[in-house]
Each structure stands twice: as C-alpha cells, then as structure tokens.
Amino acid sequence: MTHHKKVALCACSLLAFALSAAGASVPRITQPVSLGPLPAEALRLPGDSQVLMGLSMRALVSSDFHWQFSQPGSPLRPTVLDELRLLTDLDSERDIDELVVAMGGSGEVLILVIGRLDRPRLEAVWQRRAPQVPTYALAFLSEHALVLGSKQWVAATSGQIDWPVLRSNAAMLALVRQVPEQAAFWMAGEGGAVSRLSAGSAKNPAKAILPLGLPPLKSLVVAGEIGSSADGAAEPLLIQTLQADAADQQSANNLAAALRGFVALIALQSSGKPATGDLASAVDVTTEQTSVRLTAHLTSDMLAALVARSSAGRRPVQAAP
C-alpha cells in the first residue's frame, strides 16, 4: 500500500471516529458546579484521567440522528451503550441521561452514568455480572449517578480512598472548555494518551479506539452537535468539529493534507451522487501553525452515504468492556 493510500485510510478512520465519538438536566448533587459539557459529578473523576468522552443521551435519543444512525448495529453507535446493557441491563433510551467515560494512561477505564437508576435492581444485576469482569467495580455516587470501571478508580471517585480529582487537572479542564456546552457527544484527550489509543493493540488493531497511524499530537478535541432533518435532507443533521494540536507544524500540515485528501477522494469517487458529491463543500479544514481544525456540516444523505461506505466489507467485532 502506498504512503498516500495509508494517509487517506488514516483520514477516513479519523473522520469515521469523529462521527461516532458517539452527551439535559437531572437532579444534581450540589457540589461542585458543572463545567461546560461536564456534569457536576464528573469533576469527581480521577485527576489522572487523560482521555474524556461525553454523550448526552437525552439529546441523542430525541434526535433524528439517533433513530437513523445510532441504532444497534450501526457503525456510528457508541459501543459503550451496548456494553453497559450487557453488564448492568441499563437501557440507554429509558434509563440514561448522560454518560462520561474517563481513560487513564495505564489502561484504567471509568464510566459515569447519570439518569433514572433503580439501585436495588442494578445492584442485583451487577452481583450476577461482576464475575465476568473481576477487575471492575460499581458504586453509586447518588440516587441519580453511578460509576462503573477499574476498581481503584471507582474507589477514588466514590470517596473510598484519597485520590486527586479531575477538577485539579488544569490541562484536561482546559481541553474540556473547548467543547461547546450544547455538544451531544465529544472527546478530549492529551497527546500521549491519544497516541497510545491510536496505536491500539499491535495484536488486535480492530480494538484500537482511534485510527492507526495518526501523526504525533499534543491534544485532540472532537465535538458533535445534532440538528434536525425535519426541514429536508439539505439541512445539516450533524455539525462536527475536530481540533487537533500537533507536535509540530509539519505534523499539522500532514494531518490537514490527509483530511483534505480524504474528502476530495470521496467527492471524486462519488461523482454523479449528490449525497456525497457535495461533501467537499460541507467540510472545511484549516491550519494555524501547529493546530488543525475540521468543521463539517453533514446532511442526512451525506451521513447515510458515509455509513454505507464504512460498512462495506466491515467485519463485526465482539465488543469487550
């Protein structure tokens, strides 16, 4: 495979991730206050979190995007929803209002769930499912919030052990502040963690969370705002932004060129197909020194065409917590 084809495939994977990095209010604990898209409870997450992902289920479920592109089996459906159902029987459409996923540099994972939680039922289900994931624990922060994930992080977030909390991590909070408060789904990550996620597993690249072969990045922020297709297919159904801070200007230029090349390739291959033929004018990629910004205004037809492309030849992968 030539270098240019590898770069185009990397860009394709990155855009697909941006589409799927697939976060309204419920009763809150009084302290601390929320920050941007982060609910107040999320500021109790471990301070050594290096990647945060958020999903507003209430915003998602009430949208045309969810019913068209986020149903079980869709490439754009966040896999965490199905994993939560597997482990806790939580129904994403009925029980959950917001999700925040935190990841650490050594493989730690924590899922914060906010919504309408039947504690006795959930605790009973967890007692039956816990043996499947012996390194995981579950704890309730309030009647409306629980955390599930790596045992030490659950203990830290629930106050069982003394641990620095997220509101003490100025670097991560600065990235989160770049996310629009109205974002339905988003991700913010520090460069080292982003690089490890994009490197994935050499033994199983299918389990990589980010596309393989990303250039060195200092940080990555992805956000998606959901519109409505009620006024016609020409109206944007998804407004997607990606802000990457590369390690150097050359890396930024390479990433921007890859993204532009992917968009141009799709437009060229879709000649005569208006659904994706207009993609080039719907996506804007700009650079400023070491920063790359992508903004995409995608219609229902464009998303349907992109989903069809990403699904072609795609083999199902069994999700694991």
Greatest C-alpha distance within the chain: 61
Coil, helix or strand at residue 270 = coil
Question: Which value, in Å, is the radius of gyration of the alpha carbons in the chain?
Answer: 19
DSSP 219-251: EEEEEEEE---TT-TTSEEEEEEEEEEESSHHH
Q: How many domains does the chain have?
A: 1
320 lies in some domain: no
Can you give the pLDDT at residue 230? Answer: 53
What's the pLDDT score for residue 289? 94
Examine residue 33 and state whether it is found in any structural domain, yes or no. no
Dist. CA 290–CA 252, nearest whole Å: 5
Residue range of the domain that includes 222: 3-28+43-311
Q: Are strands 109-115 and 96-103 parallel, antiparallel or unpaired?
A: antiparallel
153 within domain boundaries: yes
pLDDT at 231: 52
CB hemisphere CA count around 130 (13 angstroms) = 15
Per-residue model confidence (pLDDT) at position 76: 84
For residue 96, give the H/E element and its range: strand 96-103
46 three-state secondary structure: strand
Counting every residue written for the chain, the total comes to 321
In this prediction, residue 235 carries a pLDDT of 75
Looking at the domain assignment, is residue 36 inside a domain?
no
Q: Which two tokens stand for residue 209?
A: 């969370």
Q: Is 166 among the domain residues?
A: yes
For 200-212, give one letter per residue: b (16+ CB within 10 A) or e: beeeeeeebbbbe
- pTM of the complete model beyond 0.85: no
Give pLDDT tens digits along the chain (321 positions). Answer: 554 444 444 444 444 444 444 333 333 333 445 688 899 999 999 999 999 999 999 888 888 888 888 888 888 888 899 999 999 999 988 999 999 999 998 889 999 999 999 999 999 999 999 999 999 999 999 999 999 999 999 999 999 999 999 999 999 999 999 998 889 999 999 877 776 665 554 444 444 455 556 677 899 999 999 986 555 556 788 999 999 999 899 999 999 998 888 888 877 776 666 666 577 788 999 999 999 999 999 888 888 877 776 665 444 433 333
The predicted structure's pLDDT at residue 19:
45
Q: Is residue 321 part of a domain?
A: no
Report strand pairing: 136-142 vs 109-115: unpaired
The strand pairing partners of 142, in sequence order, are 145
Question: What is the structure's pLDDT at 25?
Answer: 32
Residue 143 lies inside a defined structural domain of this protein = yes
**Short-list 99, 2, 21, 18, CA closest to 55:** 99
Domain annotation covers residue 248: yes
Distance CA 137, CA 44 (A): 16
Whether the link from the prior residue into 32 is cis, omega within 30° of 0, is yes
Cβ count within 10 A of residue 143: 12
User: Residue 104's pLDDT is what?
Assistant: 93
